[in-house]
Amino acid sequence: MPASNARLRDLSHSAPYLHNGALDALEDVVRLYSANAALARAGSLRNGAAEMKRIALVDSDTAALSAFLRALNEDYE
């Protein structure tokens, strides 16, 4: 499995999120990336990765994307 896919498995079991544990919910992380992507497209995100400009989410995408990420959890029971 490619390393990028491995990072998504069991993601919802690894809260809190970000390097400093600032966010507790996947929905908050999705909203953060969406907001930062908008800043990147506007040229207002300092040192943002070029890939950020390609993220284009609307508010209604947040729940669906978060549910998809939770669906990547392993079933340990």
> What is the identity of the amino acid at 77?
E
Which residue range forms the structural domain that includes residue 60? 3-71
Inter-CA distances, 38 with 43, 45, 51, 56, Å: 9, 9, 12, 8
Q: Could you read off the pLDDT of 25-75 as tens digits, one per residue?
A: 999 999 999 999 999 999 999 998 999 999 999 999 999 999 999 998 877
Do the domain assignments include residue 76?
Answer: no
The residues with which 23 forms a beta bridge, in sequence order, are 17
Total domains in the fold of the chain: 1
- Which residues neighbour 19 within 8 Å (Cβ) at sequence distance 6 or greater? none
Question: pTM here?
Answer: 0.81
DSSP letters for 4-33:
HHHTTTTGGGS-SBSTT--B-SHHHHHHHH
